[in-house]
């Protein structure tokens, strides 16, 4: 019982923290993207974005710690939330904090309503755009100063992200730094997932359409069998009425 | 009731306008592609194509306005037809007017008949070719004059479209202008959709084939259950005949 | 009836011609590939391969003509066999004659037996290899003499085919001639089909596996319903026996 | 019976040899990767890795021979284990010995438990990483000394493997030697399989989700029909009780 109350407290915290963390992700987005998009940013503003970035980090760190403390099985909590820990500890994985913004997609989706396939499509389109945007920022951050780099403006970075996520890969723009290549590898995985989800959604739709059209003889449903059962129950009542009558007549 | 009559009037307009708009799209196709395909076109003819282009634009604009005026819920109409508005207002999206030509594919398909998968294949092949053609024109229009461009003839543009839509992307031809890159991004999306539809059609076909072959025991259909119900009804009639006879014999 | 006898005669011809045409395709393969693979071939042997090539062409042409003459509805025959006619008339499509060799794959498959998915896999692997081989020959034939070409040996051509069919497209080798680009476009389509078939086969297998494992409650089959019907028939017999007895007892 | 005992002996050997061979594969991994990763390795250590490599080879060779000798149908054994023989005889296919390490993935999976789709995902992610690692080593081994090579460090090789397996193929790094191109062809096939498995897993999941949500009317299961049968059996008992009573009354 203590276990359950403890885990319930953690879940309450997580529900309460959903929106503050989304705000923290938005703050981080601003603090992360501004200096990258405007390389000639005044010294003061760079300091401001640095401070905002640390504030966002602190919020993620505090959230992780509180959740860890509220957990009963702490070892299991750490094992199951490795990504959350990595996002807090490794500066390289900072951009992943923006994944929190998927919460916003969820809200958008709830307002739009619609079928499962529709919701999957909204998530995929939204995530693909978000991932492309973040990857463009990250790769530009890594490449800009590098020697021999061919991604030197945000336009180039977006174009590179488009050629990468669709797996076209012309080769006119590509990362040359190790950090940029890690970003690229992540984006390629996103691209494969994107192609997979598009194909899977289409396949699922087509399978359903074909089934609907070609199935002229529908399979028997529970309702049909329930109808049968009702008929048999009535029949049994009729038989029992005879039995009673027979008892009377045979007495 | 007023609402319904109004929307009925809009729908009548849309049905009546289907073919004129397809003709407008064809006129636009001519006016758009001719100066691009023949860069040394005489001054007079350039003027002619300009005029034709404006005529086609006017038809699309008038169509949009009439449909807007005939709608009862105008705000909703605008919201649901954002693409139609964008195609009229934004010169960059002009080529999308050619999407109207898909109507022709629909006619072709109706004449060919065939299964759902067959129709999907015709649409996909037709759309892929049309999109490749339009993208080639658009990219050539954007790239021809640009510095350092490597797409300078219609043959190059078609070849570039083929390498892009199949996501091969050798990188011997690629757009260098912002406008050309937007065209490319659209074509890449078309490519992913193409791969998705091809895969999905094949998967749907294969799933059906495997099911057909391996399903030796067919599931019970409604017809089977209806047969059962008829048998039970006859049985009940027989029982009731006894009950009547019992009443008689017991009297 | 005349119609049927005529079409039957054409079908008999087609069945009888299957193997001779496969041999013609093999002869053509030899005559086509030898001068391409060995550019320094002696004058005499070039003449020999030319003659062999014409012999193979004649066999395909005669086959087409006889099938046309044996058809009752000739216009329909032409319409339905456009590819066969094109392969005979257009020198550019010559390599497509080698598609006849798929007959050999069919034989291989019949000897191997196995499930539908297994047979699909054999066809796909075989066709992919055959198409890559033919495309390599065709592209090498087109590119070898061209200015600025980067595919100049059969090894390069095979490597180019591998990067194209898998849609990787590094861009170190790519066709520069119009003819070579047409070959490439065909190979890219084959690549998309290849990815599609691989994915579809895996998806079909996975869907089946998941269904098999998760379906603990099997749906009612016709056999179950037939069992029910038999029970009800016995019940009816019992009721009728009572009815008869009732008649007796009530008499 | 002798046949069965012999095959049983071979199977016992295979089960007993599973772990020693995995160890041999690990030893080979060390002996294979060390000199490639550290080109300036001291003479002594190169000799040590050579010896280890031969030891691993000997273990694979002995295993193959013993399995061959323990087989009753030796011709069939050879035919069915062509890959095992090739891995022993052809130095070029040496890296395939590392496929033995998939045994480790199996163990990992058994400890993780989970659904079929989960297990497939673990295998795919594990195999993809392993294949990328081995392909990087093999391509670096082939390319390092070659003239005009652009893959000259292990970082480059890993980056090349990532662009290849995802079919992005920028073209900044690609093999130029024949041996490297064979490695690349294998990796491309792995890439197509990877995309296929990802798509198939997503499609299978989506098909299931849609089916679950949209199936409000569940099909009749065997259990439903069994329930019906029980009701009819009771009904028959009632009818027979009447029949007995009728016999009594009619006596």
Question: Tell me: the pLDDT tens digits for D132-164?
Answer: 998 999 999 999 888 889 999 999 999 999 999
Please determine, for residue B233, whether its predicted confidence score (pLDDT) is greater than 70: yes
Q: Which residues of D125-159 are buried (b: 16+ CB within 10 A; e: fewer)?
A: ebbbebbbbbbbbbbbbbbbebeebebeebebbbb
DSSP D21-33: HHHHHHHHHHHHH
Instruction: Over range C86-111, report the average pLDDT.
Output: 74
Q: Which residue of B has its CA nearest to D232?
A: B232
Cα–Cα nearest to C103, from C85, C126, C129, C86:
C126
The reply to whether residue D167 touches residue B167, judged by beta carbons under 8 angstroms, is yes
D 81-100 residues with CB < 8 A to C: none
DSSP C132-150: HHHHHHHHHHHHTTSTT-S
DSSP code for A117? H
CB A140 within 8 A of CB A36: yes
Structure tokens at D145: 């000394």
Cα–Cα nearest to D167, from C197, C65, A164:
A164
Same domain (yes/no): A191, A225: no
Q: Which residue of B has its CA nearest to D167?
A: B168
Poorest-pLDDT segment among A234-238, B200-204, C51-55, D223-227: D223-227
Same domain (yes/no): B87, B125: no
Residue A3: per-residue pLDDT = 47
Separation CA A10–CA A7 (nearest Å): 5
Beta-strand runs (E) in chain B: none
Residue D107 covered by a domain? no
Domain end marker among C66, C99, C132? C99
Q: Which residue of D has its CA nearest to A243?
A: D242
Separation CA B124–CA C79 (nearest Å): 22
The CATH number of residue D176's host domain is 1.10.287.70
Residue A1: per-residue pLDDT = 40
Separation CA C193–CA C206 (nearest Å): 20
Helix axes D102-112, D116-143, angle to 10 degrees: 150
Residue D249 covered by a domain? no
Same domain (yes/no): C230, C168: no
Q: Tell whether B219 is within 8 A of chain D (Cβ).
A: yes
Please list every residue in chain C whose beta carbon sits closer than 8 Å to the beta carbon of residue B235: 232, 235-236, 239
Considering only residues A239 and B144, tell me which one the structure prediction assigns the higher pLDDT: B144
Same domain (yes/no): A122, A88: no
DSSP-based three-state secondary structure for B167:
coil
Domain end marker among D50, D67, D98? D98
Q: Tell whether D103 is within 8 A of chain C (Cβ).
A: no
CB D177 within 8 A of CB D143: yes
CB A74 within 8 A of CB A68: yes
Separation CA D25–CA A220 (nearest Å): 55
Separation CA A117–CA D233 (nearest Å): 46
Residue C27 covered by a domain? yes
The reply to whether residue C167 touches residue A167, judged by beta carbons under 8 angstroms, is yes
Considering only residues D202 and C241, tell me which one the structure prediction assigns the higher pLDDT: D202
Q: Which residue of B has its CA nearest to A209?
A: B116
Tens digits of residue pLDDT in B14-28: 888 888 888 888 888
CB B24 within 8 A of CB B60: yes
Domain end marker among D65, D98, D131? D98
DSSP-based three-state secondary structure for D219:
strand
The reply to whether residue B222 touches residue A219, judged by beta carbons under 8 angstroms, is yes
Give B16's strand partners: none
Separation CA B157–CA B174 (nearest Å): 9
Q: How many CB atoms lie within 10 A of CB C32?
A: 23
Separation CA D229–CA C229 (nearest Å): 10
In chain D, the number of structural domains is 2
**Which residue of A120, A195, A249 is in closest CB contact with D199?**
A195
Cα–Cα nearest to C195, from C108, C128, C106:
C128
Query: How would residue B168 be classed by pLDDT, with cut points 50, 70 and 90?
Result: very high
Helix axes B178-214, B116-143, angle to 10 degrees: 170
The reply to whether residue A245 touches residue B243, judged by beta carbons under 8 angstroms, is yes
Instruction: Over range A12-27, report the average pLDDT.
Output: 85
Separation CA C37–CA C14 (nearest Å): 33
Please list every residue in chain A whose beta carbon sits closer than 8 Å to the beta carbon of residue C220: 220, 225
The reply to whether residue C219 touches residue D219, judged by beta carbons under 8 angstroms, is yes
Residue C160: per-residue pLDDT = 96
Å from D83 to nearest chain A CA? Answer: 30
Q: HSE-up of C232 (CA within 13 Å, CB side)?
A: 28
Q: Give the residue numbers spanning the domain of B45.
A: 1-100
Instruction: Over range A169-180, report the average pLDDT.
Output: 93
Residue A107 covered by a domain? no
Touching subunits of C (3+ CB pairs, under 8 Å) are: A, B, D
Q: Tell whether D166 is within 8 A of chain B (Cβ).
A: no
Separation CA D121–CA D129 (nearest Å): 12
Please give the angle made by the CA atoms of A107, A113 and A115, to the nearest 5 degrees. Answer: 125
Please list every residue in chain D whose beta carbon sits closer than 8 Å to the beta carbon of residue C209: 116
Give chain C's radius of gyration (CA, Å): 30
**Which residue of D171, D203, D239 is in closest CB contact with B203?**
D203
Same domain (yes/no): B137, B195: yes
Tens digits of residue pLDDT in B215-230: 544 555 666 677 777 7
* Percent of the residues in chain D that have a pLDDT greater than 90, as a whole number: 22
Å from C157 to nearest chain D CA? Answer: 12
Query: How would residue B2 be classed by pLDDT, with cut points 50, 70 and 90?
Result: very low
Same domain (yes/no): D166, D222: yes
Q: How many CB atoms lie within 10 A of CB B155?
A: 13
Q: Tell whether B220 is within 8 A of chain C (Cβ).
A: yes
Residue B107 covered by a domain? no
Cα–Cα nearest to C208, from B210, A101, A65:
B210
Number of H helices and E strands in chain A, helices first, is 9, 0
Residue A108 covered by a domain? no
Considering only residues D167 and B121, tell me which one the structure prediction assigns the higher pLDDT: D167
B 145-164 residues with CB < 8 A to C: 155, 159, 162-163
Please list every residue in chain C whose beta carbon sits closer than 8 Å to the beta carbon of residue B228: 225, 228-229, 232
Same domain (yes/no): B4, B36: yes
**Which residue of B169, B196, B225 is in closest CB contact with A228?**
B225
Same domain (yes/no): C195, C158: yes
Same domain (yes/no): B76, B35: yes
Please give the angle made by the CA atoms of B168, A200 and D216, to the nearest 5 degrees. Answer: 170
Q: Tell whether B217 is within 8 A of chain C (Cβ).
A: yes
Residue B194: per-residue pLDDT = 85
Same domain (yes/no): C135, C209: yes
Please determine, for residue B185, whether its predicted confidence score (pLDDT) is greater than 80: yes
**Which residue of B169, B199, B225 is in closest CB contact with D199?**
B199
Same domain (yes/no): C122, C193: yes
Instruction: Over range B107-136, report the average pLDDT.
Output: 76
B 171-200 residues with CB < 8 A to C: 171-172, 194-195, 198-199
Same domain (yes/no): D40, D87: yes
């Amino acid at each position: 019982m203590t276990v359950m109350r403890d885990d319930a407290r953690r879940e309450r915290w997580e529900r309460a923290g959903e929106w503050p963390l989304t705000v923290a992700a938005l703050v981080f987005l601003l603090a992360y993207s501004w200096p990258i998009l405007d390389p000639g940013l005044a010294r003061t503003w760079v300091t401001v974005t640095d401070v905002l970035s640390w504030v966002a980090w602190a919020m993620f760190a505090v959230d992780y710690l509180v959740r860890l403390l509220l957990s009963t099985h702490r070892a299991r909590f750490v094992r199951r939330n490795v990504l959350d820990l990595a996002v807090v500890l490794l500066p390289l994985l900072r951009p992943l904090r923006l994944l929190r913004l998927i919460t916003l997609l969820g809200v958008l989706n709830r307002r739009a309503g619609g079928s499962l396939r529709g919701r999957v499509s909204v998530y995929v389109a939204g995530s693909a755009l978000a991932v492309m945007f973040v990857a463009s920022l990250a790769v530009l951050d890594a490449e800009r100063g590098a020697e021999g780099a061919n991604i030197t403006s945000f336009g180039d970075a977006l174009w590179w992200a488009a050629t990468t996520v669709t797996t076209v890969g012309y080769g006119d723009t590509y990362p040359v730094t190790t950090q940029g290549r890690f970003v690229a590898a992540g984006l390629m995985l996103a691209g494969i997932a994107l192609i997979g989800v598009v194909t899977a959604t289409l396949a699922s739709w087509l399978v359903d359409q074909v089934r609907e059209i070609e199935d002229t003889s529908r399979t028997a449903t529970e309702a049909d069998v329930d109808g049968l059962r009702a008929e048999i129950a009535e029949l049994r009542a009729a038989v029992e009425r005879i039995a009673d009558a027979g008892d009377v007549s045979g007495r």
